[in-house]
Copies of this chain bind each other. A is one copy, B any other.
Amino acid sequence: MNIGEVAKSSSVSAKMIRHYESIGLIHTSPRTLSGYRQYHDRDVHLLRFIRRARDLGFSLEQIRQLVSLWDNPERASADVKRLAQAHITDLDQRITALTDMRDTLVTLAKSCHGDHRPDCPILHGLAAAS
């Protein structure tokens, strides 16, 4: 399989596959005589795994650990769970931060009449300590 086909069936762009190879997230693939990368089904599985982990917001560094756990039949599920929970905590923090921003902004926006007049509590709120 060439890289294009793998990209299509894994939903990871060829660009990213090469990148993942360059940073050592996936193994370097064998090449044809002319230098084309050659892949097998298991590579597609791995890339799909990576893609799903990305979709869940894991960083490539975390995915590196997930992949090594995935590869390791001796792993303890506790290790995986620990990683997942650390990520959940991280997501929660980001959600909280964004929600706080949102709420502040909604409050400011509510008090802004939003017409042709220049007076605007949103700008005041940004200019003064909130």
Residues of A within 8 A of B (CB): 45, 48-49, 52-53, 55-57, 66, 69-70, 72-78, 80-82, 84-85, 87-88, 91-92, 94-95, 98-99, 101-102, 104-106, 108-109, 112-120, 122-123, 125-127, 130
Contacts and interface: CB of A to CB of B under 8 A. Distances in A.
A123 B63 CA distance: 11
Please tell me how many copies of the chain the complex holds: 2
A122 B57 contact: no
A5 B102 CA distance: 31
Contact of A105 (B84, B98, B99, B108): B84
A87 B76 CA distance: 43
Contact of A88 (B76, B77, B95, B109): B109
